[in-house]
Amino acid sequence: MFPSFILFGKEISMYSVLAVLGLFIAGFLVCKLSKKRNILYVDMIIFMIFVFIGVYFGGVILYAVTQWQYIAALFKNFSVIVNDGMLIPFLATIFGGSVFYGGLIGGICTGMLYLKVAQKNVGDYSDLAAIAAPLFHAFGRIGCFLGGCCYGIECDFGFIFNNSLVESANGVRRFPVQLVESGFEFILFAVILFMFFKKIQQHRLFLWYLFIYSIGRFILEFFRGDEYRGFVGIFSTSQFISIIIFAVSLFLLIRTNIKYKHNITVQTE
């Protein structure tokens, strides 16, 4: 499609542009909404910085895990690779991508760590994170489409990539799974935002985000054609993680709602 452009002699990837755009739009929106939960802008910005750090490193680390063949080859032939001057290219291959679920898990860990140390209300911040996550991801998936990564399966309709950074994606008509997921994310963002304004399931919105997204992602993975993302048995890495996130978020939703109803009952007695 349109993977990159040249600016002041530097090649800029469209994925990076869309990811940064999504980050700023999502960040600006949640900062504006933070006053509804009595959160100061500066506290929200610090929280987002910690989350972003976790998102970046978590995404890269999980991608590296999916490249276990290269890691095994590196350890097995380390001296040969170093002597041939191939260490940097090998490391670039291993750490040269990012997996969304890795970023999501990393962002949750660093965000929770900050909230615990700073003694902030987890429920208020997590509700705002539930708004930001799908909005940011929606822009990111548009970037994936323009860059030609995370591409779909071969089909009779769709788009043909000719300039994808992933060579195997080029020259074949493919299902636009990136755009479908982007649309799904925008809808999910609208649903969470509606729940936020209507005060539906307060302090549980991030669990709802995880629950709904895990279902959608599991289904959409069947329409992905990029096998380099890794598999666990018959499921892709993301499908395997989706199953875990679905089960955990469902369990926590049931538990927190029972606890919430119990507290309401006690207060009214």
Query: Per-residue pLDDT tens for 18-39?
Result: 999 999 999 999 999 999 999 9
Q: How confident is the model at residue 265 (pLDDT cuts 50, 70, 90)?
A: low
| Total H helices, total E strands in the chain | 10, 6
Q: Pick the closest to residue 153 from 130, 126, 177 (CA basis).
A: 177
d(Cα 223, Cα 151) in Å, to the nearest integer?
Answer: 9
CA distances from 260 to 101, 230, 253 (A): 29, 39, 10
- Reported as a single tens digit per residue, the pLDDT across 93-135 is 888 778 899 999 999 999 999 999 999 999 999 999 999 999 9
**pLDDT over threshold 90, residue 164:** no
Residue 24 phi/psi, 5-degree rounding, is: -70, -40
Q: How confident is the model at residue 264 (pLDDT cuts 50, 70, 90)?
A: low
How high is the pLDDT of residue 262?
A: 61
Question: pLDDT at position 268, please?
Answer: 56
Question: b vs e for 52-62, b when ≥16 Cβ sit within 10 Å of the residue's Cβ?
Answer: bebbbbbbbbb
**In this structure, are residues 230 and 237 in contact, taking their beta carbons and an 8 Å threshold?**
yes
Q: What integer pLDDT is reported at residue 52 of this predicted model?
A: 94
Whether residue 157 is predicted with pLDDT greater than 80 in this model: the reply is yes
Place of tokens 């992933």: 166
Overall average pLDDT of the 175-191 stretch: 97
pLDDT over threshold 70, residue 263: no
Residue position matching structure tokens 């993302």: 229
Say whether pLDDT at 233 is over 90: no
For residues 230 and 104, give the distance between their C-alpha atoms in angstroms, rounded to a whole number: 17
* DSSP-assigned states of every residue in 127-179: HHHHHHHHHHHHHHHHHHHHHT-S-B-EEEEEEEBSS-SSGGGBTSEE--HHH
24, 110, 157, 159, 218 from 153: Cα distances, Å: 31, 34, 10, 11, 15
pLDDT band at 9 (very low <50, low <70, confident <90, very high): confident
Which one has a higher pLDDT value, 184 or 171?
Answer: 184
With a cut of 70, say whether residue 145 has pLDDT above it: yes
Q: With contact defined as beta carbons under 8 Å apart, do 158 and 41 qualify?
A: no
How confident is the model over 131-156, as a mean pLDDT? 93
Q: Tell me: pLDDT of 258 over 60.
A: yes
Confidence band for 195, pLDDT divided at 50, 70 and 90 = very high
Name residue 11's beta-bridge partners: 6
What is the model's pLDDT at position 1? 64
